[in-house]
Structures are given as structure tokens and as C-alpha cells.
A = this chain, B = another copy of it.
Amino acid sequence: MDFEVYNSEYMSIIFVKDKLNYTGKEIEPLWAFKTFDVQKDSIVVFRGKMEVSQEEMKDLKDIKREKDIETPIKSEDAINFIVEHFDSIDLKTIYLRQRLLVFIAKEVIESYNIKLRREGDDLYFEDKKLSVCIACKGTVSAKIHLGINVKSKGAEHVKIVGLEDLGIKDIDEVMKSIAIKYAEEIDKIERDLRKTLPLK
């Protein structure tokens, strides 16, 4: 697989240049180490189809709601971010970091003069869904998957919208921008907590 690695202070950013589909297996622990040999906390970004079957889903609410749909999460063309942290692996921390990633994605996309709406970890353009997102934890690490549609094809039971529908052409730039900004924010937080006096 063809990919580039950038290192921030506390994270590795892996930008996959080949097409790569998101199947749900990428959320499993140590996938980034197995695939890209990275031994830091990491954010991997890649583009391809997104097709997650029932068995690979982690959101039990979605699983219940969509139990008659074989492949509930589907997109013909999407950019996918896989984050893995080993420093703090409780669910609360990873869900807070998930919100951080979603807010940063929103910030990057809105820099193209688009106005999005956020509800929890979902991004919408008007009433159309732009993204899917989950955070979860295992025994040794905590992970996030954020998928943002590039095209509005693929999904069967929800109205979706893609970055291209919003007029964004340079998808690579969006991918890199979100991944780098996330890593930089994590770095900045690490520096922030090393300059703060305790409460009395």
C-alpha cells in the first residue's frame, strides 16, 4: 500500500494514497501497527467505499434500529479517519476526543464557505447527513472512526450528502487538513497540561 507518514509531537499521521475501503475491521486494536508499522498514537486517513455490516458495528443503538438492514453503513465514496490512542483508554476520554475530531472536521469543511450543522457526533448539511462516527475502547487502546461522504451515493435508508455536492474539489487537502489539525490539537493539549498550576 502506498502511504505517507507525518509525525507530530505525540501522534503519527498516516495518509494513505491508494484507495482503501472501510469495512469495520479497521476499528480493531493495533490495526495501524499491523498495517503501517506505527508505534505512536495515530490518525490514519484514507479514501474508498464504506460498507460496515452488522457484525462490525459498535453502536448498539444503530444495530437495534437497523437490524433488518444487512449493511447499515454504506457510502460509495468516503474519506475515513481512524484514530487510536494508548495513553488514556477509558470511554469518556475517547468520546471527548471524538467530539474534538468532529468539531475540527466541521471547522475545516466550513473554511470552504459552507455552513454545517452538528448534532452530537453527526455533521449535517441542511437535513442531509454528511458523516458517521463512533468511538470505542478495547483492552489496550481506544479508537475513533469518522467517515465523511465524498459522494451522495451508496446509502439506502438515509438522505446523505457528500463533500463534492458541497463544491469541495480538493478532497486530499480536506483529508490532510483534518488529520493534521487533530494531531496538532492533541499536541497542544499535552503542552497545555504541562503549564497549569493546580487549584489550591
Contacts and interface: CB of A to CB of B under 8 A. Distances in A.
Nearest to A194: B39
Contact of A196 (B107, B136, B190, B200): B136
A69 interface: no
Contact of A96 (B33, B34, B118, B189): B189
Contacts of A191: 39-40
A191 B30 CA distance: 12
Interface string A180-200: 000001001111111111111
Pick from A100, A120, A121, A195 the residue with the most CB of B within 10 Å.
Answer: A195
Interface in A40-59: 40-41, 57-59
B58 A138 contact: no
Contacts of A90: 88
Contacts of A195: 30, 33, 39, 59-61
A199 B143 contact: yes
Q: What number of copies of this chain does the assembly contain? A: 6
Contacts of A41: 194
A97 interface: yes
Interface residues of A, number: 58
Nearest to A7: B9
A192 B93 contact: no
B139 A30 contact: no
A60 B33 contact: yes
A193 B92 contact: yes
A157 interface: no
A193 to B, nearest CB: 4
Report the 6 A-B pairs with minimum CB-CB distance, sorted nearest first: A138-B199, A139-B198, A96-B96, A91-B193, A103-B103, A39-B191
